Amino acid sequence: MTFPKKKIIFVTSTRADFGKLKSLINIVKNRKEFSVHIVITGMHVIPKFGNTYKEIQKTFKTNIIKFKNQSLNDRLEIILTKTSEKFSRIVKKINPDLIIIHGDRVEALSAALVGSLNHILTAHIEGGEVSGTIDDTIRHAVTKLSHVHFVGSVIAKKRVNRMGEINKNIFNIGSPDIDVIINKKLPDIINVKRRYGIKYNDYAIFLWHPVTSKIETLKEDTNKILKFIKTLNKNFIIIYPNNDPGSNLIIDCYKKINNKKFKILRNMRFEYFLSLLKKAKYILGNSSSAIYEAPMLETPAINIGNRQYKRIKTNIIKNIDIEDLNDKTINNFVKNYKPIKENLYGYGNSDKKFLKILLKKNFWNIAKQKFFSDLS
């Protein structure tokens, strides 16, 4: 069914959400039905995180707008205000038919506010998840501000429905990063190691983000974990955290490391990271990569602390507190690990499901006025 050409804005603020949005952008970018714009902000444009906006520009080349939305040590509410103000100007200029945002970052909340207050159709990717921190609060707020929900699992769809969202506007398309794992040939690990200067044959990955509700103990917690993994006497690829408040405390700890068994990277291209993760002995930390990507790549995942502990429970992910870290627990888990591709988050066709929905004329008639849908 045909309809007038629709202008779509995708908003990305972190390397993680770009990994989720990439296949969705790809599948609609060159369709005659759509005019696609990509708005880049957040950690993408902060030099200490590697200026990852360059990867996006290299991948998509045109219709890209980037802006800086924060200064060092800005509080989340300040970032929210700056992002909303600048994104509002972009929206006024482009006048989009649809805004697409992902996840639980404050930038997503800003974009959802702008979309909602201007009565612009706003779609949220991977709402309905639970992790156990302030991220949940932001994610659920984005859900309530958004008109359309592209969720990643059956459980997430039920949660969004229970939050009063209209069932016919909730679409379970799976997690889009699974598309990359299943459908795209990942870079050869030899090329990945060469590109990032990694000389280890055997290694684990450590990826640790701030827990914004525990900033007062973040430095101490980070040093505890670094001290622990040092005792393991194994090679570790350590990747910089996201840009949440407290990231500077983690990075300061990394800068003091002087250990040939630790390779520290500011960022990685998503597909290259997946290749590295696939060959890793295990991933340790509190990244959602342990929840989404690691199981699909059959890599043991050990989640530390409460940043992800309320995610979908499965016996192929080990949850452990910092105080309980010990080599015996980790070694036993890795040794007895039995990979099971549970496909909790889809089968690699999220992009195709997404496109099919956008091509339906009635999608563009979804009401901009939100109503609470009571469960019967």
Burial of 268 (0-12, 13-18, 19+ CB in 10 A): buried
Burial of 343 (0-12, 13-18, 19+ CB in 10 A): middle
- Are 91 and 9 within 8 A, CB to CB? yes
Residue appearing with tokens 């408040």: 245
Work out the end-to-end distance of the chain between its first and last CA atoms, rounded to an integer number of angstroms. 33
Cα–Cα distances (Å) from 107 to 82, 182, 200, in that order, read 10, 29, 36
Query: How many Å apart are CA 4 and CA 17, to the nearest integer?
Result: 29
Nearest to 278, CA basis, from 180, 370, 351, 354 = 180
The helix or strand, by DSSP H or E, that contains position 84, with its residue range, turns out to be helix 76-94
Residues 6+ apart with CB under 8 A from 158: 128
Nearest to 16, CA basis, from 109, 146, 112, 103 = 103
Set out the domains of the chain in order of their start, with CATH numbers. Answer: 6-175+345-365 (3.40.50.2000), 183-335 (3.40.50.2000)
Query: How many Å apart are CA 41 and CA 64, to the nearest integer?
Result: 11
Nearest to 246, CA basis, from 212, 207, 206 = 212
- Are 254 and 285 within 8 A, CB to CB? no
- Are 281 and 301 within 8 A, CB to CB? no
- What is the 8-class DSSP label of residue 93? H
Q: What is the pLDDT of residue 178?
A: 87
Q: What is the pLDDT along the chain (376 residues), one digit of tens a residue?
A: 578 999 999 999 999 899 899 999 999 998 999 999 999 999 999 998 999 999 999 999 899 999 999 987 789 999 999 999 999 999 999 999 999 999 899 999 999 999 999 999 999 999 999 876 788 899 999 999 999 999 999 999 999 999 999 999 999 999 998 888 887 789 999 999 999 999 999 999 999 998 877 889 999 999 999 999 999 999 999 999 988 888 999 999 999 999 999 999 999 999 999 999 999 999 999 988 888 889 889 999 999 987 665 555 566 788 899 999 999 999 999 999 988 766 678 888 999 999 999 999 999 999 999 999 998 6
- Are 342 and 317 within 8 A, CB to CB? no
Query: How many Å apart are CA 276 and CA 274, to the nearest integer?
Result: 5
Task: Tally the C-alpha atoms within 13 A of residue 116's C-alpha that lie toward its C-beta.
Answer: 19
Structure tokens at 176: 């889009």
At 325, which amino acid appears? L
Query: How many Å apart are CA 228 and CA 233, to the nearest integer?
Result: 10
The phi, psi pair for 317, rounded to 5°, reads -125, 130
At 265, which amino acid appears? L
Query: How many Å apart are CA 107 and CA 142, to the nearest integer?
Result: 10
Q: What angle do CA 304, 310, 314 make, to 5 degrees?
A: 80
pLDDT tens for each residue of 234-249? 999 999 998 888 899 9
Average pLDDT, the chain: 92
Q: What is the pLDDT of residue 121?
A: 98
pLDDT tens for each residue of 110-159? 999 999 999 999 999 999 998 767 888 999 999 999 999 999 999 999 99
Instruction: Go through 189-223 and write b for each residue having 16 or more CB atoms within 10 A of its CB, e for each that does not.
Output: eeebbeebebeeeebbbbbbbbbbeeeeebeebbe
Query: How many Å apart are CA 65 and CA 189, to the nearest integer?
Result: 32
Residue appearing with tokens 């509190």: 286
Give the alpha-carbon dihedral of 111, 115, 116, 118, to 10 degrees.
130
